[in-house]
Every structure is written in C-alpha cells, then in structure tokens.
Amino acid sequence: MQAMPIPNPLKRPRCEQCLRPVSYCLCEHITVVPSRTRVLILQHPDEQRHALNTGRLAVLGLKQAELLVGERFAQLGSLLAAEARVFLLFPGEQAQTPQPLAPGPEDAAPLLIVLDGTWRKARKILHENPVLNSLPRLALEAGQPSTYRIRQTGEFAAVSTIEAIVRTLTALEPGQDFSPVLVPFDVLIEQQIQAMGADVYRHNYKTDETKRPESGAIPNSGLLER
C-alpha cells in the first residue's frame, strides 16, 4: 500500500489566480481594463516565483495581455512576423517616448513587449532572444516616483513592471483610464508593509528616500527598463 503524502503545515494554501496566500488574495481588487494595445510580458523564471509578482498582476488586470515565462522564447520569431506593429519597452539609444496611437482598425493594434525581471535578468532575456533587438523601443519620461515602497534599488526613478506598463499604455491611449490596473498592486504593498510591521518598514525602507524597486523595476527616465 502506497503511503499517503504528509501535508506540510507550513505551506499556506494559495489562490490559483493571483497566486497569493488565500488570506491575502488580491482577486477582489482586480478590474479587467480593455486596451487597444496588446501586451506581451516575457518574464524571467525567477520573477515567477517572487512573492511580489507585479507582471502577473498586470496580466490579470488587462483584457489584452499575455505572460510567457522563460529565458529563451523559440516562438518569438513567428509571433513577431505576424504582427504589423511591435514595440519593446526597454532602454536604448534609439528609444522613443510613447506617443498617442493614431486611429486605425483593430487588426492594426500594436503589440507592446515588456521584459519582466531585474536589470541583469532582463538583459539576459534580451541576449537570449536576438530578434528583440530589431524592434523599435519605447522609453518612459521622468514622472512620479514609484509607489513600490518595499523594494530597493540604486535607481531613484525606477518603477515596477506593472507601473511601467500602465504609464506606457496611458501615454499610448490617453482616452482610457488604466488606473484600476494598479489597485491590487497598491493593496499588495500595504499588505506587505502590515505583515512586516511598522518598525521593520521604517528601519529598512524609510531611512533612505532614494531606495527604489529592483525586482521588476523599470527606471522611469529617458531610458526604460523593467
């Protein structure tokens, strides 16, 4: 007779959609927002396992968004060949500031590709998928500081993946309100601060106001990153 597996009492049940512990489920805060632009997030495997997976939250909050996990994506070549307009959200000398989309048919809607990972891991994805280097790049202008208050980075202007996507879509489609996409992200941050306690938060994250997100962080400057 095969022995029954012994349940791990330390392993908390998780929501199958947002992947958060059930007691911290974010699904009630998610509103699916339509967009003309389609979003494809290429997520590094390490980010998938991260507790603060903002790329996944972005996909859950956008009607036209998809997430692929890996370092090398063999399907990219054929996928891009079928697209009329594709942009890569990533820094580069030729990167342009997102501009409002011109009116056009739905089948001409652009595809926005976003790399989700730390700077080093996002560059690894770029290196492993040379086809991405042929794409025109978009870069955010300097804007409001990130609300990602529980991550640290040397980049003062860094923003999280979900913030970078929302800011880019807002620039491309100024007539659409994308702020609801950020609601579960804001709740997530508050949950984490409450869980660590006010004293720990003040000691680790409020002593230096220049600390900004590193995981899934995209510098909100003339160059653009995760």
The 3-class SS string of the chain reads CCCCCCCCCCCCCECCCCCCEHHHCCHHHCCCECCCCEEEEEECHHHHCCCCCHHHHHHHHECCEEEEECCCCCCHHHHHHCCCCEEEECCCCCCECCCCCCCCCHHHCCEEEEEECCHHHHHHHHHHCHHHHHCCEECCCCCCCCCCCCCCCCCCCEEEHHHHHHHHHHHHCCCCCCHHHHHHHHHHHHHHHHHHCHHHHHHHHCCCCCCCCCCCEEEECCCECC
Whole-model pTM? 0.81
Q: Are 174 and 100 in contact (CB under 8 A)?
A: yes
Cα Dmax for the chain: 67
Q: 125 forms bridges with which residues in the sheet?
A: none
User: What is the C-alpha separation between 105 and 205, in angstroms, rounded?
Assistant: 46
Per-position pLDDT tens, the chain of length 226: 344 445 455 577 889 999 889 999 999 999 999 999 999 999 999 988 777 889 999 999 999 999 999 999 999 999 999 998 999 999 888 999 999 998 877 667 899 999 998 889 999 999 999 999 999 999 988 766 666 555 555 454 478 899 999 999 999 999 999 999 999 999 998 888 776 766 665 656 654 444 444 445 454 433 333 3
Is the alpha carbon torsion for 73, 77, 83, 86 positive or negative?
A: positive
Domain boundaries, the chain: 34-147+157-181+215-219
User: What is the C-alpha separation between 118 and 52, in angstroms, rounded?
Assistant: 13
